Amino acid sequence: MGFISRFFAGSGPRAASNRTSSQSQSQSVANLQMKVERLETANQKYRERLAERIELNNKLKGIVDTQKSEINAMRINSRKDLTLERIDTFFTGTKLRLPEEAYQRFIAKCEDNATPDKVENFRAEMEKSQHRAFYEQLFSVEMDMAQGFDFTGLRPIVTFQRGETDIAYAASKGMSLDELKANHIQITIERFDQIIKKNFINPKRVNAVCEIGAAWGAATRYMLNRYKPQDYHVYEIDTGWAQWLKDNLGVDSKQCDGESLSETEDESMDICVASSCLYFMPFVKQWNYLTEFARVLKPGGVAVFNVNLIENTSVRTLKGLLANYFPRRSFGYIPQHCVDTAFPEEQFEKLVKDPSKGFGYQVYRKR
């Protein structure tokens, strides 16, 4: 009976309760499994969407990087365009010309080494482009020295030709150029009064003056007011200034080749002037301009100019040029012996013994 009693006892109310509990647990497990499946499904979709976003982000990053490269390329091209645009101005206004003697020697070498038809085609191509390739190389050093940088806008700038800009700025402010450049003009007056002694040349004999790099005409005004010459030749490569000087100061603006006084005759000038301009060109051009001064001066005429002498540079100066003008590496220094070769002692008298005491100005008088 004990065994039978225990058997029947298991099929009573307690057994029913156990079955219900077991079913409830099974349902809970099933519910959890469904939740896990839903979470896994959601997680899989999330991973897929995340992968899509990562792929999209990578594509966008690639597009951004490409656009940055294109923008940088555009900036580089813009800088090149700006430089070439400045060179374009050489073809208008004063009508820049090639150095005739050097150009003819170049053509002679071509004729000595190439067939006539090739030389003819080459000359035709050069003339068609207005000798653009030559001018770009002829003035590459000047353009390099004119390259600056705007550290606020973080962009390169070109300051080679400022005539039109300065003239427009003065007009916008309702000022004359004399007012805009008053400080520079006054400095020139004070320096020239100190440098050009009265006994250097008799004012009454000064009928003709030749000047290079006149810009806004500080030295031009001085010469016109002090000596009142009848003839005034100006070789100014900035077409804006060249036209302004012609229109407002009555000078004769000549065609420029950047290194000679090709339109001024031998021994025709009483004074030759180059104020604060020679050191913006390579020393070989500086030297040639000085030899041109020697050529066009009359006996008794004087050459007045200032240069940066390489002999006067210190280690501190040289280090400063490297550190402070990055990335520019062109500087217009010239050795004193080159200056002296332009004005041989047997033909010229050196009137300023120590240029360092005269703001770098030197004066030579033709014997």
Predicted confidence at residue 223, as pLDDT, reads: 98
Percent of the chain with pLDDT over 70: 86
Q: Are residues 55 and 184 in the same domain?
A: no
State yes or no: pLDDT of 30 exceeds 60: yes
In this prediction, residues 312-330 reach a mean pLDDT of 92
Distance CA 132, CA 83 (A): 13
Boundary residue ending a domain (74, 91, 108): 74
In a domain? residue 31: yes
pLDDT digits (tens, 9 = 90+) for 250-264: 999 998 999 999 999
Question: Which CATH number fits the domain that encloses residue 175?
Answer: 3.40.50.150
Question: Per the structure block, which two tokens stand in for 83?
Answer: 């430089």
Please, what sign has the CA dihedral across residues 159, 163, 168, 169? positive
In a domain? residue 186: yes
Q: Are residues 219 and 341 in the same domain?
A: yes
> Edge-to-edge strand order for the sheet containing 269-274?
252-253, 231-235, 208-212, 269-274, 297-306, 361-366, 348-350
Identify the CA nearest to 326 among candidates 148, 139, 76: 148
In a domain? residue 144: no
CA 184 from centroid of its chain's CA atoms: 23
76 vs 162: which has the higher pLDDT: 162
In a domain? residue 118: no
Predicted confidence at residue 7, as pLDDT, reads: 47
In a domain? residue 219: yes
The model's confidence at residue 78, banded by pLDDT at 50, 70 and 90, is low
CA 144 from centroid of its chain's CA atoms: 6
State yes or no: pLDDT of 268 exceeds 60: yes
In a domain? residue 121: no
Cis ω before 203 (30° cut-off from 0): no
Predicted confidence at residue 143, as pLDDT, reads: 78
15 vs 131: which has the higher pLDDT: 131
Q: 310, exposed or middle or buried, with CB in 10 Å at 0-12, 13-18, 19+?
A: middle
**What total of structural domains would you count in the chain?**
2
| Residues contacting residue 98 through CB under 8 Å, at least 6 positions apart | 131, 134, 135, 138, 257
Identify the CA nearest to 301 among candidates 231, 206, 230: 206
- The pTM for the full model equals 0.76
Q: Are residues 167 and 31 in the same domain?
A: no
Q: Are residues 47 and 178 in the same domain?
A: no
State yes or no: pLDDT of 24 exceeds 80: no
In this prediction, residues 334-354 reach a mean pLDDT of 96
State yes or no: pLDDT of 85 exceeds 70: no
Question: Per the structure block, which two tokens stand in for 338?
Answer: 């080159």
In a domain? residue 93: no
| Contact (Cβ atoms closer than 8 angstroms) between residue 96 and residue 237 | yes
Q: Are residues 173 and 288 in the same domain?
A: yes
- Measured distance between the N- and C-terminal CA atoms of the chain, rounded to whole angstroms: 157
State yes or no: pLDDT of 93 exceeds 50: no
pLDDT digits (tens, 9 = 90+) for 130-146: 888 898 889 888 878 87
State yes or no: pLDDT of 360 exceeds 60: yes
State yes or no: pLDDT of 266 exceeds 50: yes
The model's confidence at residue 278, banded by pLDDT at 50, 70 and 90, is very high
Q: Which helix (H) or strand (E) covers residue 95, if one does?
A: none
Predicted confidence at residue 176, as pLDDT, reads: 92
Distance CA 272, CA 294 (A): 9
Q: Are residues 176 and 56 in the same domain?
A: no
Output DSSP code: residue 255. P
Boundary residue ending a domain (74, 89, 110): 74
Question: Per the structure block, which two tokens stand in for 312?
Answer: 């006067």
Q: Which helix (H) or strand (E) covers residue 146, if one does?
A: helix 140-146
State yes or no: pLDDT of 54 exceeds 80: yes
Boundary residue ending a domain (51, 74, 97): 74
Residue pointed to by tokens 């309702």: 174
In this prediction, residues 348-354 reach a mean pLDDT of 94
Predicted confidence at residue 250, as pLDDT, reads: 97
**Taking the CB of residue 169, how many other CB atoms lie within 10 A of it?**
13
In this prediction, residues 45-60 reach a mean pLDDT of 86
The type of residue at 79 is R
Q: 227, exposed or middle or buried, with CB in 10 Å at 0-12, 13-18, 19+?
A: buried
In this prediction, residues 91-101 reach a mean pLDDT of 73
Q: Are residues 184 and 304 in the same domain?
A: yes
Enclosing domain of residue 267: 163-366
pLDDT digits (tens, 9 = 90+) for 159-190: 666 788 889 999 999 999 999 999 999 999 99
Q: Are residues 361 and 238 in the same domain?
A: yes
SS (H, E, C) 336-365: HHHHHHHCCCCCEEECCCCHHHHCCEEEEE
Q: Are residues 297 and 171 in the same domain?
A: yes
Predicted confidence at residue 337, as pLDDT, reads: 95
pLDDT digits (tens, 9 = 90+) for 192-226: 999 999 999 999 999 999 999 999 999 999 999 99
Distance CA 161, CA 167 (A): 12
Mean pLDDT of the chain: 87
Q: Are residues 195 and 321 in the same domain?
A: yes
In a domain? residue 126: no
| Contact (Cβ atoms closer than 8 angstroms) between residue 143 and residue 86 | yes
Distance CA 228, CA 366 (A): 21
- CA separation, residue 240 to residues 74, 247, 285 (Å): 28, 11, 22
